[in-house]
Amino acid sequence: MKTDMSIRMRTMLYGLMCVLLIPFVFPTWWMVTSSVKPISDIFAFPPDLLPRTYDWSTYQRVFELQPFAQQYWNSGYIALLVTAGTMIVSSLAGYAFARIRFPGADAIFMVVLLGLLIPAEVTIVPLFQMFNQWGMINTHWPLILVPVFGAPSVFSTFIMRQFFIALPIELEEAARVDGLGRFTIFRKIALPLAKPALSAVAIFTFLHSWNLFLEPIVFISTPQMFTLPQALTQFTDAYGGAMWNIQLAAATLTALPVLIVFIVAQKQFVEGLAHTGLKG
Amino acid sequence: MANVTLSQIKKQYGNTPVIHGVDIEAADGEFVVLVGPSGCGKSTLLRMIAGLETISSGTLKIGDRIVNDLDPKDRDIAMVFQNYALYPHMTVETNMGFSLEHRGGTKTEIAERVKWAAEILDLSNLLKRYPRQLSGGQRQRVAMGRAIVRDPQVFLFDEPLSNLDAKLRVAMRAEIKNLHRKLKTTTIYVTHDQVEAMTMADKIVVMNAGEVSQVGAPLDLYDRPANRFVAGFIGSPSMNFIDGVVENGRFTAPGIDLETPSFTAGETSRQLICGIRPEHLVIGGEGISAEVSLVEPMGSETQVTFSLPEGTIVGVFRDRIAAKPGDILTLGVQTDGCHFFDPLTDLRVE
């Protein structure tokens, strides 16, 4: 009797989850299948779940119309540098805020957190002027420096700080007795134990940088320097109309690494958030 | 090895004093236990010796060196923490050799020392395991291994057995004591468990509210507590305290009339507190008439709670007691079983 109930409950739960999945899965499915459909089939109603005919040439056109491989590389290396930079900055800052008592620490942390409340659109003009003065317009520097020292890094610092606060202080005291200095304790004890939080930071930061849109369109002006989100806007015909199937093929290629990262690192992503006490 | 000397050590957090001028001497090779209730400052004092807390004033010497301002690493001490503080990402072997590695030990030297410590603590077959793969007792032994591997001048233990179950605690108590016997390293051990203190210490320091209440050998503290706090803290069950009057060589209180050989006949009337240990009460003696209110047979002994006209007292008897609640019994006190304390100062009165 009890088993019947639990099977029924389980079936209902799975059914509910399948329904909830539709709004998340359908757009991705539509993007992938539409990338190989002829344009006329893309907006057919009701939509076809599978293409009637497969047109793989759209993927070839993506690389013909734009320096897509170069743009892919741009997005990739920028995201990796931003990820590495943010991991370094946020782990050091998070550790300092969690463990080092210095005058005004709490006030400074509050000020840093306030950075999260300011939308990127508010600071983009002053940033443009600053990078313009530094001769960095139409270079990738703004796309690296803004996230590493801006809002994404603040969020990551918060994650790291929460993690380090939760780390038993006795571990560090034991290390002090064992003869380690502050930085060695950070490097050899705190940081290796912070892997779950660091993984969460890495995934967040990589995704944020990979998807960055506002900053590239403000700071970058030549196709060779474009990143992928910016490049996606360029698949238009002579009249400015979207070449939907090619654009969706490019979008599929753009989403691919993100999907792979998430599928591979799903466990660390969830663990990292669980460790920091944050809820997604 | 070295002696540890604390002279007028004080600690303040802001304007709040927590340690009020403590003087303690731990002789070379001695096993000193700091014992006291939670919040009495014993762990703070130990952390000050370790260098994990600053010393507000006073002098701390290890050997001939004043170490007040030295970092923990320069004090030549090793500490075992309450929650073991083993590095979770390192194997037992790496945990134990970690401090030597950072003090410039060669690989061979580290391996030899770790092997030596592992043999002493029966850890040889656990060296490749991670702390999460060990039981509580094994983790405790690794924590000790990490401490002894460096051969420090002083061992500091901060309530190291409090996370273990009762049976394991007894076993580890013996193990720590054996280790001390082998190594003869000066040891300062913090606990709130007076049984641990009594069984392990060469010298006990009883602390209360940031002050030292009494220092002495375990049995001295038991036999001649300097004040009411120590009398109540050392011994389980606690000492019974009865308010009464001493006059003409007799202590009297409602329901009690005891001969007190320590006071001479003819002495004028004096208000005192009489302390009697539960195990020093004798059924069938003279002096106390009390009603049995609770009988708790423990197997090896029987614990009986008696009602007096004012309050209750507890007795512990080796014999099996046939009495039941409501029975009236007469009790006596073993020779020298009465301790007297001044009701105003709480100090022992001879």
Bridge partners (DSSP) of residue B288 are: B256, B331
Does the B4-233 domain belong in CATH 3.40.50.300?
yes
DSSP single-letter state for residue B226: S
pLDDT at A280: 37
CB contact under 8 A, B99 and A177: yes
Can you tell me the distance from the alpha carbon of B227 to that of B207, in angstroms, rounded to the nearest whole number?
12
Chain A: give the shortest CA distance to residue B237, in Å.
34
Among residues B28, B177, B147, which one has the least CA distance to residue B76? B147
Can you tell me the distance from the alpha carbon of A189 to that of B190, in angstroms, rounded to the nearest whole number?
26
For the cut 60, the answer to whether the pLDDT of residue A105 exceeds it is: yes
Which of A178, A184, A186, A189 has the most B C-beta neighbours within 10 Å, making it the best mutation to test the interface with B?
Answer: A178
Alpha-carbon B230 to chain mean position: 11
Chain B contact for A189, CB < 8 A?
yes
Q: How confident is the model at residue B122 (pLDDT cuts 50, 70, 90)?
A: confident
**H or E element in which residue B304 lies:** strand B302-307
Chain B: give the shortest CA distance to residue A172, in Å.
8
**Model pLDDT for residues A141-189, shown as the tens digit of each residue:** 999 999 999 888 999 999 999 999 999 999 999 999 998 999 999 999 9
Chain B contact for A174, CB < 8 A?
yes
Q: What is the mean pLDDT of residues A13-38?
A: 91
Among A168, A170, A192, select the one facing B89 at the smallest CB separation. A192
**Which chain B residue has its CA at the smallest distance from A192's CA?**
B89
Chain A positions in Cβ-Cβ contact with residue B51 (cut-off 8 Å): 176-177
pLDDT at A77: 96
Which of B71, B96, B98, B140 has the most A C-beta neighbours within 10 Å, making it the best mutation to test the interface with A?
Answer: B98
Chain A positions in Cβ-Cβ contact with residue B102 (cut-off 8 Å): 178-180, 184
Can you tell me the distance from the alpha carbon of A49 to that of A70, in angstroms, rounded to the nearest whole number?
33
Chain A positions in Cβ-Cβ contact with residue B78 (cut-off 8 Å): 177
Q: What is the mean pLDDT of residues B56-83?
A: 93
User: Tokens 């076993």 map to which residue?
Assistant: B171
For the ranges B156-160, B168-172, B176-180, B209-213, the lowest mean pLDDT is seen at B168-172
For the cut 60, the answer to whether the pLDDT of residue A277 exceeds it is: no
Chain B contact for A197, CB < 8 A?
no
The CA angle A219-A220-A224, to the nearest 5 degrees, is 165
Among B78, B83, B146, select the one facing A170 at the smallest CB separation. B83
- Superfamily of domain A57-276, CATH level 4: MetI-like (1.10.3720.10)
Can you tell me the distance from the alpha carbon of A58 to that of A71, in angstroms, rounded to the nearest whole number?
17
For the cut 50, the answer to whether the pLDDT of residue A195 exceeds it is: yes
Chain B: give the shortest CA distance to residue A177, in Å.
5
The CA angle B11-B12-B14, to the nearest 5 degrees, is 160
Can you tell me the distance from the alpha carbon of B197 to that of B31, in angstroms, rounded to the nearest whole number?
10
CB contact under 8 A, B79 and A171: no
For the cut 50, the answer to whether the pLDDT of residue A272 exceeds it is: yes
Can you tell me the distance from the alpha carbon of B279 to that of B255, in angstroms, rounded to the nearest whole number?
19
Q: Could you give the percent of chain B with pLDDT greater than 90?
A: 72
User: Are the beta carbons of B332 and B282 closer than 8 angstroms?
Assistant: yes
The CA angle B15-B21-B25, to the nearest 5 degrees, is 145
Burial class of residue A84 in the structure, from the number of CB atoms within 10 Å of its CB (0-12 exposed, 13-18 middle, 19+ buried): middle
pLDDT at B264: 62
How many CA atoms within 13 Å lie on the side-chain side of B169? 15
pLDDT at A279: 40
What interface predicted TM-score (ipTM) does this complex get?
0.84
**Phi, psi dihedrals of residue A226, rounded to the nearest 5°:** -60, 150
Q: CATH 3.40.50.300 occupies which residues in chain B?
A: 4-233
Among A170, A180, A192, select the one facing B85 at the smallest CB separation. A170
Among A173, A175, A179, select the one facing B103 at the smallest CB separation. A179
- Superfamily of domain B240-349, CATH level 4: Nucleic acid-binding proteins (2.40.50.140)
